[in-house]
Chains A and B, each alone.
Chain A
């Protein structure tokens, strides 16, 4: 859209780039250094009854710096080249040193109106289109464990708090203003590439799309917040001729979303849309999704709040989006630490401890199929909010009910839309209760406890067909005590217990998301992670943690523990 076209359409539009242009006016040094550095050392001890072959000790550590050279050659252009230098402890004389490129990006403004970014881009749309699902337990991990995950594996795997995806390609963004009707509209378009490879076996794939977000004066009630509406599009396309493949994969998702404040306390938000998928066999699938949320907010942040939401989500069994098909972790990969255990030298499956430390367990590229379900940690929505074949009703409440205390509770029920191997539908539930409390002991303390219960059930399928009875109880609690007045020294004690047990069916899919097998069996898994840590916070951007944590794992096949003493220093600049 340009000015002339908009005017002809009676929209009296003009292009603005308020915030962007304003930013460009500020003083920008020609050269600056940004990035992150960390030093980490782990001393692991493995223990397993009757295991006489696994070496029980494994130590590892490195110091690493991501040096981002930010060059501003003129007011409209910025170049960022971030180089990673890493040295594994013990690798003297350069033998353990690696150099890598962490990020290369060019940003610029065209006539102070259109912003473009080329190179490595962190980008996200909505949870049903192009969005990187957060790591398992995002937002509910205890503090030091979250810090460990966020500073090591999560950081290396480019996870951010905004569900962005690190992609390579380009984006263009601009704002359109209007004299009447909507206040303005923010437009964003992107094109990202995944290259071909494997000697012509992997096809080059591109993701195209974007969003248009419109801000409106609230015509329902003029005194409350404005209305936002939007359209989101993502399309993944295999490129013909870039590999030996003659049949090509294609997936397009289009949704519209909006947020409509109904009055000062009540707001309604929604997202609805559809997807179309073209598989390499020539088969096609199409389906729709619907997500509606009613939210109630009362109070002030400094005097206590009360937030309640009610959400209904329906994602069709054939609704496929890159978001759902790209779960954050790779189920089948083995961890690098203590890869083989026991006298039988069986491959150890990764557990939550490994997710703290190993970035190779995280997925980077988008994938074109759902893969098989892994019920180790999730069963209700194993592919995130956009998990296909679910209708879900969820209520949440957050309330500051007493002094220094907050209660967070949620309850969700979900059901399959299309049965898996039977017309009987599996039911799911999730109940989550958490209490956060501030205490006036020592120099200040905080305490939190959370219990999450996830279940799946299905019965009366037929003669001799076992019922699904599966539960995943999680228990999390932790405390933090400040040792000094300035809160720079804090002591943390935390506990994480993840379990699942019962009879469940694993859904095995082929590359076109067709269910090719259903494997039922008894499951049992218990993972306990107690943790103690002393943390020194030197500034908002740097801290040093000395900690101990243990991971005790009990499955149907194995029972072992890994204890870890660690030192972690992290700084952002």
Chain B
């Protein structure tokens, strides 16, 4: 009997040992109270600082708390510029993880040094929370800027403009603005060719001849620009072309080295567009085709960047505006 008891006790002991092991019993998934509970505002909207100097690397975040996790829209609007930053999400609390503002813009123009009204709304509920924050220093753009047009058009560009009608390749200051107080207009009518005008930035004109100095990882390099098209028109095409010096001989050889491209057809409102270098393709008459050179996306070998302004010759006047043309690394440009 002792023999049996020994095994039974050992078995039970093992069972209790296993059953007594500690488990993580934090409930799985989203809280049911968040999904199905009653909505109430528990803590008012506040900003982490009353004044923020983005040029000094500062940022500001907003806090608020509701009784359940719900969709929220946090909108920051510049009183002078009219710039809008919109942050959306779904949460019970707003904090630094989901309501951080580093001076960037969702709806152009960019923010100036100004007082901003901040409004928090919850779709489906009538509650609106407000506060304000003052911008004392504008955001510093971290990018290789090709041109922001604030000092006129950069002399580094080489250009070719057709002798068409009503040609408009000039700096504009009329609102609505995008970044800063100036932008570049491309416009005109050319009845015999798709090409209206072209601006090129050769490697030799960048950084005192040192070139674009881009990373060799095409997954990390982005071309960015803010574009819009004249309201009521839809015929303008901006064709971005990037030519690579695959063999490193200091020149670009047509037909044997890579030419990456993307077609941009802007809408009538300013929009920041970013293109990952590795996503660029080879286009022949607008259609994707096989690479011309070694087929490798090699940003460090970029020899020349071209911006072609195109429109169907039978479509009449075409017009686009552009601002803040820049390369960024690791992430798209944030304005």
Contacts and interface: CB of A to CB of B under 8 A. Distances in A.
A507 B31 CA distance: 12
B28 A317 contact: yes
B27 A462 contact: no
Interface in A503-543: 505, 507, 514-518, 520
Given A272-B14, A288-B21, 18 more contacts: A220-B4, A270-B11, A272-B18, A317-B23, A318-B24, A418-B27, A419-B28, A421-B28, A421-B31, A421-B32, A422-B27, A422-B33, A423-B25, A461-B33, A507-B29, A514-B28, A516-B29, A520-B36
Contacts of B26: 418
Given A219-B3, A463-B38, A287 B32 contact: no
Contact of A419 (B21, B27, B30, B35): B27
Nearest to A423: B27
A287 B26 CA distance: 14
A507 B7 CA distance: 41
A421 B26 CA distance: 9
B35 A290 contact: no
Contact of A417 (B4, B18, B23, B36): B23
Interface string A404-428: 0000000000000111111100000
Contact of A464 (B14, B24, B29, B37): B37
A127 interface: no
Nearest to A289: B18
Nearest to A421: B32
B18 A518 contact: no
A314 B19 CA distance: 8
Contact of A465 (B4, B11, B25, B37): B37
Contact of A220 (B7, B23, B30): B7
A421 B27 CA distance: 5
B242 to A, nearest CB: 27
Nearest to B21: A288
Given A272-B14, A463-B37, A464-B37, A421 B25 contact: no
Contacts of A464: 36-38
Given A220-B4, A220-B7, A290 B18 contact: yes
B15 interface: yes
B28 A462 contact: no
18 contacts: A287-B23, A290-B19, A316-B23, A317-B23, A317-B28, A318-B23, A417-B23, A418-B28, A421-B31, A421-B32, A421-B35, A462-B37, A463-B37, A507-B28, A515-B29, A518-B30, A520-B32, A520-B35
B36 A465 contact: yes
A219 B6 CA distance: 12
Given A465-B36, A465-B37, A517 B23 contact: no
A421 B36 CA distance: 11
Interface in A279-338: 287-288, 290, 292, 314, 316-318
A420 B29 contact: yes
A318 B28 CA distance: 11
A270 B35 CA distance: 40
Interface string A464-488: 1110000000000000000000000
Given A272-B15, A290-B18, A463-B38, A518 B32 contact: yes
Among B15, B26, B28, B38, max chain A CB count under 10 A is at: B28
Instruction: For the complex of A and B, list the 6 residue pairs with the smallest distance between their C-beta atoms, beginning with the closest.
Output: A515-B29, A421-B32, A515-B28, A419-B27, A462-B33, A465-B36
B27 A466 contact: no
A272 B24 CA distance: 20
Contacts of A421: 27-32, 35
Contacts of B18: 272, 288, 290
A517 B29 contact: yes
A219 to B, nearest CB: 7
B314 to A, nearest CB: 43
B286 to A, nearest CB: 27
